[in-house]
Amino acid sequence: MRIEAVRGDITRETVDAIVNAANRSLRGGGGVDGAIHRAAGPELLEACRRLGGCETGDARATPGFRLPARWVIHAVGPVWHGGHRGEPDLLASCYRRSLEVADELGARSVAFPAISTGAYGFPRELAARIAVETIRSTPTSVELARLVAFDQETYEIYRRLLAA
Ligand code: ADP
């Protein structure tokens, strides 16, 4: 599997599936979640409603509707409370479950945002390490995992980790 980092807006990614940093209600929100719902159109909220929520650390799929990506995989990251409430394992679970759902869909290329590093407050460096390590160690048929950084700092962290 190839893992690469890019800087940009995940709603523009032309991959089979993009991952959303969603919340447990799956009713939309701010940050990347809001951007994905705006770009996909109102059908996305309808499809999310039918899923009836998602636990932290898990992931559920919908179509991508007006997005270039065919599917959206809604992963629910943990809120950072200091690191002693299972946050690292829950974040790793998001990446692992997203790849499992991608396999069920038959998706071969998947783009990920930096889950939990915005409103949920997860430290960027630790989150990036968990993302890269979990993607590298999860058995999957996905051929391309693209880490989409919205800011330069996250992009540079990914570049450094991927070069190592
Ligand atoms: P969370 O609640 O999981 O922290 P956020 O959406 O607040 O989710 O932030 C997660 C990450 O997504 C942050 O690094 C943020 O900068 C980034 N982000 C925000 N908008 C976009 C976008 N359009 N494309 C890619 N990443 C984005």
- At residue 102, the pLDDT reads 99
Q: Which of 19, 25, 32 to mutate to test the pocket of ligand 1 (most atoms within 8 A of CB)?
A: 32
What are the chain's domains?
A: 2-163 (3.40.220.10)
- In the block, residue with structure tokens 């523009």: 12
| Active-site choice (33, 58, 103, 151) | 33
Q: For residue 124, what are the CA distances in angstroms to 88, 108, 160?
A: 12, 26, 13
**pLDDT given at position 100:** 98
Residue 8 parent element (H or E)? none
Taking only the tens place, the pLDDT of each residue in 13-53 is 999 999 999 999 999 999 999 999 999 999 999 999 999 99
Distances (CA, A) of 164 to 7, 115, 145: 19, 21, 17
Instruction: State the pLDDT at residue 105.
Output: 98
Q: How far apart are CA 88 and CA 1, in angstroms?
A: 23
pLDDT for 164: 87
Give residue 151 CA to ligand 1 midpoint distance, Å. 9
Q: How far is the CA of 104 from the centre of ligand 1 (A)?
A: 25
pTM over cut 0.75: yes
Give the closest residue (by CA) to ligand 1 atom 21: 32
Protein residue closest via CA to atom 23 of ligand 1: 9
**Two tokens, residue 139:** 């058995």
| Average pLDDT score over residue span 51-60 | 98
Ligand 1: list residues with CB < 6 Å. Answer: 9-11, 21, 31-33, 35, 77, 113-120, 148, 150-151, 154
Q: Is 24 exposed, middle or buried (0-12, 13-18, 19+ CB in 10 A)?
A: exposed
Q: Give phi and psi for 62, each to the nearest 5.
A: -135, 170
**Confidence category of residue 56, pLDDT binned at 50, 70, 90:** very high
Where does the pLDDT of residue 101 fall: very low under 50, low under 70, confident under 90, or very high at 90 and above? Answer: very high
Active site residue 151: no
